Amino acid sequence: MIKAIIFDFDGVVAHSEPLHRKSFNMTLKQLGITIPRKLYWEKYVGLGSLSIMEDIFRTHGIRRSARFWVGKRMKVFRELVKREGVRPVKGFMKFNRLLDKIGMKKIIASGGYRKNVLVMLKYLKLDREFQFISREDVKKRKPDPEALLLAAKRLGVKPSECLVFEDSPYGIEAARRAGMKCVALTTSLPRRYFRKSCIVVKDFREVDLNFLNRVID
């Protein structure tokens, strides 16, 4: 039986991927580089800032510190959030209230950096509601299950007692490796990108108490 919900963050709690791409392009403009929308969504969603930057630098033959440029990109991103704001994924706020009503344990397991996640949680006024796992808390990124297993440990539940919400194949694979049930949201990628064994929904408007009751038993 499911006793806890684990959320990815970008593209699951916050509709933030467009801002992430914008911050990359604003930063990389100094190097004459633009990441096309199709490339970003198909290759980089869920991959992580450092891996994205390293791939871009390899592709363009740039011999600079990817980690340094990730730091620059993160500052740009946080300024964008403060200036332009960020929206919750459709239906998330209502679903979150439902979880509180039924007393379900919940946590965020993000591949994002702590400062980035926190600035968005504060903007969404969710910072006092959620504990979260960030990139700094683990050694390995998704699709490694480390973040999800740590999330379960912090909630005091077994991996098999967790239901995970993800929006990328990396996250879905991490849930599979962790031995957790998973729901994929098509907020970032089309349905065809996800495993047939995974439950797929458009967003949280399709997730209500009846849905939960079908999935958690």
**From CA 55, how far away is CA 100, in angstroms rounded?**
40
Biggest CA pair distance of the chain: 53
164 forms beta bridges with 6, 182
10 classed as catalytic? yes
Co-location of 105 and 164 in the same domain: yes
Cα torsion 160, 166, 170, 175 to 10°: value is 0
* Active-site residue identified among 10, 100, 127, 217: 10
Is 208 an active-site residue? no
Residues 66 and 126 both lie in one domain: no
| pLDDT tens figures, 118-156 | 999 999 999 999 999 999 999 999 999 999 999 999 999
Token pair, residue 47, equals 């991959």
Q: Domain range holding 134?
A: 4-15+87-216
Strand intervals (E) in 41-142: 87-88, 105-109, 132-133
Q: Which of 8, 137, 167, 203 is catalytic?
A: 8
Last residue of one domain, picked from the residues 43, 67, 84: 84
Summarize the confidence of residues 91-111 as an average pLDDT.
97
Q: How high is the pLDDT of residue 217? A: 67
Number of compact structural domains in the chain: 2
Confidence at 1, pLDDT banded by 50, 70, 90:
confident
Mark whether 80 and 177 lie in a shared domain.
no
Same domain, 209 and 114: yes
Q: Which of 84, 101, 116 is the last residue of a domain?
A: 84
Q: Look up the CATH number of the domain holding residue 46.
A: 1.10.150
Task: List, for residues 11-56, the tens digit of each pLDDT value.
Answer: 999 999 999 999 999 999 999 999 999 999 889 988 889 999 999 9
User: pLDDT by residue (tens digit) across 157-171?
Assistant: 999 999 999 999 999
Residue 144: CATH number of its domain: 3.40.50.1000
pTM of the model: 0.92
The CA-based dihedral angle spanning residues 159, 163, 167, 170, taken in that order and rounded to the nearest 10 degrees: 20
Mean per-residue pLDDT over the chain, rounded? 94
